[in-house]
Amino acid sequence: MKKLWIVLLILLLLTGCGEAISEEKPAEEPTVEELPTQEVEAPTQEELLREIVDEMSIQEKIGQLIMAGLDGTEISDRERSLLDEYKIGGFILFARNITDESGTRDLLDSLKKANSDNSIPLFLAVDEEGGLVTRLSEIYRNLPPQSYLGESGDPELAYNYGSIQGEKLKRLGLNVNFSPVLDVNSNPDNPVIANRSISEEPELVAQLGIQVSKGIADQGIVPVGKHYPGHGDTDVDSHTLLPVIEKSKEALLEMELVPFQRAIDEGMPAIMVGHLLVPSLDENPSSLSKLIIEDLLREEQGFGGVVFSDDLTMGAITNTMNASEAAVEFVVAGGDVALICHGENLVVETFDSMINAWERGYLTEDSIDDKVIRILKLKEDFKLEDKPVKRIYEDEIDLRIDELFN
């Protein structure tokens, strides 16, 4: 009996333990919905562009750093070669290339078609400022010089001025305008700026220049402010000689650099550097100066966009060095797109000079990559495409000009 009670007691204890255990339900496995989600950050635009650049050859990268002039009104074997063999990143048109609306559009469409094997679209640029500096006056009615805007003091008029510029380019298939002029007209003896400038007042140049830029950009055209660090206080034309600006850095910051700083703060996407000698900043011309492009423009003034050179075949440069050599110095100094506007063989010479500079380590691939990323970002931001534009034969642009400026 005693043994039986012992057995019953043991069973009872075991049953109790069993009940206690059975009451503790096993932890349920979390369902997929309950699992914590690990957020994966989407790659940034720069990261995506860097992936593209990493897949490019050095020849393709260097091609993006060059903008070429054209010889005639139709695409030639030279231009096809520049695209097929050298992957040139863009072209600039002058009056010598422009006939009428249909012919100009056909020329641009031919360039786009010739670039069809390249996934990166072309920069197709022009100087369409208004006044004396216009390339499209054979097609559209010309705008008054930009000094007209300063005399009016009207921001809305300045915006419409830029919008008309942009619409002219868009209808033809162009996508970059070297405008607005952000030079302050501070020297009455200036032979090259004069009424191309908005005003002799830096704040007014800044205010209205920004509006011109916005008007251009809202038409899908890249505006390019020029001529950094300011061509207004000169008495020499940089097409023939190198102008010298005898001003301190402090004086420049209070006058010439004001419109550029304001434009940078407002998001100016591109700036053209002029050929100017400013001894207080550097002994080298501004377009070849790391102290001016990299240190002043980029670091101090905070510009992160694309830097274009002025035409490197101008006398201010070629009086002392070859344009192809100058192009290398420009990109080493921090510039992005070197303009070679004249000379049948100079574009290829420039390409070869850049390749040589890379081979000997004078131009590093890391710096080239940074430049190409800025260029691709600008092309992407403005949704540039190598597609023919729709033909429009209406005279709305001339009507807008008549209404606003006559």
SS3 call for 259:
helix
CA dihedral 177, 182, 186, 191 (to 10 degrees): -10
Q: Which residue carries 């001003």 as its tokens?
A: 247
- From the list 46, 37, 34, the residue with the least C-alpha distance to 372 is 46
d(CA 190, CA 6): 119
d(CA 182, CA 263): 9
* Positions of E strands within 318-386: 338-340
The tokens for 204 are 């007014």
Confidence of residue 6 (pLDDT cuts 50, 70, 90): very low
Phi, psi of 36 (to 5 degrees): -65, 135
- From the list 404, 318, 359, the residue with the least C-alpha distance to 58 is 359
Q: Would you say 328 and 371 are in contact if contact means Cβ atoms under 8 Å apart?
A: no
pTM of the model: 0.89
Is there a cis peptide before residue 30, judged by omega within 30 degrees of 0? no
Q: Would you say 374 and 331 are in contact if contact means Cβ atoms under 8 Å apart?
A: no
CA 261 to chain centroid, in Å, comes to 16
Confidence of residue 23 (pLDDT cuts 50, 70, 90): very low
Q: Would you say 258 and 202 are in contact if contact means Cβ atoms under 8 Å apart?
A: yes
Kindly list the distances between the CA atom of residue 361 and the CA atoms of 13, 252, 371, in Å, as whole numbers in the listed order: 86, 34, 16
d(CA 185, CA 205): 9
d(CA 196, CA 218): 22
Phi, psi of 119 (to 5 degrees): -75, -15
- The residues annotated as belonging to the active site are 239, 310
Q: Give 86-130 pLDDT, tens digit per residue.
A: 999 999 999 999 989 999 999 999 999 999 999 999 999 999 999
Confidence of residue 234 (pLDDT cuts 50, 70, 90): confident
- From the list 167, 173, 172, 148, the residue with the least C-alpha distance to 158 is 148
d(CA 164, CA 384): 19
- One-letter amino acid at 11 equals L
Q: Does domain 64-319+336-400 have CATH number 3.20.20.70?
A: no
SS3 call for 369:
helix
- One-letter amino acid at 404 equals L
Under 8 Å CB-to-CB from 235, ≥6 apart: which residues?
187, 189, 190, 191, 243
Which pairing describes strands 176-177 and 222-223: parallel, antiparallel, or unpaired? parallel
Q: Give 31-59 pLDDT, tens digit per residue.
A: 545 556 667 788 999 999 999 999 999 99
| Residue 236 clears pLDDT 90, i.e. is over it | no
Q: Give 294-326 pLDDT, tens digit per residue.
A: 999 999 999 999 999 999 999 999 999 999 999
- HSE, side-chain direction, 13 A CA sphere, residue 99: 10
Q: Would you say 215 and 162 are in contact if contact means Cβ atoms under 8 Å apart?
A: yes
Q: Give 189-199 pLDDT, tens digit per residue.
A: 877 888 999 99
| 3-state SS record for 107-156 | HHHHHHHHCCCCCCCCEEEECCCECCECCCCCCCCCCCCCHHHHHHCCHH
Q: Would you say 126 and 95 are in contact if contact means Cβ atoms under 8 Å apart?
A: no
For residues 274-294, one letter each, b for 16 or more C-beta atoms within 10 angstroms of the residue's C-beta and e for the rest, the string is: bbbbbeebbeebbbbbbbbbb
| Residue 200 clears pLDDT 50, i.e. is over it | yes
